[in-house]
Structure 1
Amino acid sequence: MIRVLVADDEPLIRAGIRMILDSADDIDVVAEAGDGREAVRNARETAVDVALLDIQMPVMDGLTALAELGRAAPRVRVLILTTFGERDNVLRALGHGGAGFLLKDSAPDELIHAVRAAAAGNAYLSPAATRHVADALASPTATARAEEATRRLDGLTARERDVLALLGEGLSNADTGRRLHMSEATVKTYVSRILTKLDCDNRVQAALLARDAGLHTGGV
């Protein structure tokens, strides 16, 4: 069972999210919070797998709470849920180690899918958020980022680059294993090694590096 914390300062929004998530047999909303500070406290004190954080909350906003959770409860995977799709918010969420970003007008099935993906250790970006990331990659600094990403990937073996390319496509460990004819445990070992070599805190950051470097699967 995936145990979820929902943090939003609007009770009706929390109730709606709870109703959607509780409709899934494998998801259980075990805690709620009306502000970021309460969310951090609940996540630290409750066995939570995934936290859904609104960006605009009183006392402590969602992005600040995300950074705090990285220190106080690093086991918790965090999805940022908001009505605001500005590029800077998306990039800040990913930079702070968020497992994904989706908008409040996302379809119920997308919300459930995002929670499952985060719980499985995978990154999730809504289509709208993906467009913002793509816009950022097309900015004037994209060339410099591409050069830096390429340099950092130079230390990877050919097989590690294959795994990273599929990670960049958002594939799960299981799907990556099927594509590369590896066991899921072997893929996990590769991912851990890749994160260490690239000095990345999570899969999302590694995936963005892969995209910056223009890494492709080459038909694997």
Structure 2
Amino acid sequence: MTQNAAPIRVLVVDDDAMVITGIRGILQAAEDIEVVGSASSGEEALEKVALHFPDVVLMDIRMPGIGGIEAIERLVNSVRPPKVVSLTSFDTDDYLFRALEAGAAGYLLKDIGPVALAEAIRKVHIGEPILSPRSMQQLISKVTTGQDQRLQREATELLADLTEKELEIAVLVAQGLSNQEIAEATFMSTATVKTHLNRINIKLDTSNRVHIAVIVERARMGNVGARIQGC
């Protein structure tokens, strides 16, 4: 964090006090993140958001009263909406898709590591959607299951416009790698990876890495030849 940059304000919502205590402890080590409050229910979350105006809300899914899904929907449609990330123990398709449909900017499982949690908050804060690797695969599987040949052909044609390096990065995105991990795998700087990702988004007419991953997986299902399979 630069000297004049304000910390990312985070509200933690969970009906387990031990979970809240644990997350507070984890995030205390991040100088650019500040936990401004906590809530144990959806109702309390709505009140605390109106009181503290957090940038990011970590929201449990299953809670008494107003559950996490409804709370997410209300928050993202509020006057000053925070970015909301589902942080849950449940990796079922139902909860994942309901959370994303409600407007969640991310879906993470509670077994996420401390460093990864802090990094996820930073990414969501700047507008980059975040999914746990398992959630990413669930979403891709749901989207690609039962797809027709037209979608496969369209995905293949889109990827044909990418350079070899851009295709390599797109495939790594589909594998769930972060920008830092892609940089290490391709021997590039993270800044260079971001530049390639911007070009990929322009060429594929996508807005984030989830959309890139879906196109790659659709193409894998079709007759795309060795170009993508060899990456």
Q: Does 1:204 align with 2:210?
A: yes
Residue of structure 2 in register with 1:101 after alignment? 108
Helix, strand or coil at the partner of 1:31: strand
Residue of structure 2 in register with 1:34 after alignment? 40
Helix, strand or coil at the partner of 1:165: helix
Q: CA RMSD in A?
A: 4.0
Give, in whole Å, the separation in 1 of the partners of 2:152 and 2:77. Answer: 26
Residue of structure 1 in register with 2:190 after alignment? 184
* Structure 1 residue ranges without an equivalent (≥5): none
Compute the TM-score of the two structures, normalised by the length of structure 1: 0.67
**How far does residue 6 in structure 1 lie from its aligned partner after superposition?**
0.7
Aligned residue among 83, 94, 111 for 1:88:
94
Q: Does the CA contact (< 8 Å) of 2:144 and 2:214 recur in 1?
A: no
**How far does residue 55 in structure 1 lie from its aligned partner after superposition?**
0.8
Give, in whole Å, the separation in 2 of the partners of 1:147 and 1:43. Answer: 45
Give, in whole Å, the separation in 2 of the partners of 1:112 and 1:41. Answer: 29
Q: Does 1:110 align with 2:113?
A: yes
Query: Structure 1 residues 99, 154: closer, same or farther in 2, change over 3 A?
Result: farther
Compute the TM-score of the two structures, normalised by the length of structure 2: 0.64
Give runs of ≥4 in structure 1 deviating > 6 Å.
none
Q: What amino acid sits opposite 1:18 in the alignment?
A: R
Give, in whole Å, the separation in 2 of the partners of 1:189 and 1:74. Answer: 29
**How far does residue 32 in structure 1 lie from its aligned partner after superposition?**
1.8
Residue of structure 1 in register with 2:171 after alignment? 165
Q: Does the CA contact (< 8 Å) of 2:90 and 2:109 recur in 1?
A: no
Give, in whole Å, the separation in 1 of the partners of 2:108 and 2:11. Answer: 15
Q: Does the CA contact (< 8 Å) of 2:59 and 2:87 recur in 1?
A: yes
**How far does residue 158 in structure 1 lie from its aligned partner after superposition?**
1.8
Q: Does the CA contact (< 8 Å) of 1:147 and 1:213 recur in 2?
A: no
Query: Structure 1 residues 145, 199: closer, same or farther in 2, change over 3 A?
Result: farther
How many pairs align? 209
Of 8-17 and 63-72, the range deviating more from structure 2 = 63-72
Residue of structure 1 in register with 2:158 after alignment? 155
Give, in whole Å, the separation in 2 of the partners of 1:97 and 1:195. Answer: 21
Q: What amino acid sits opposite 1:101 in the alignment?
A: L
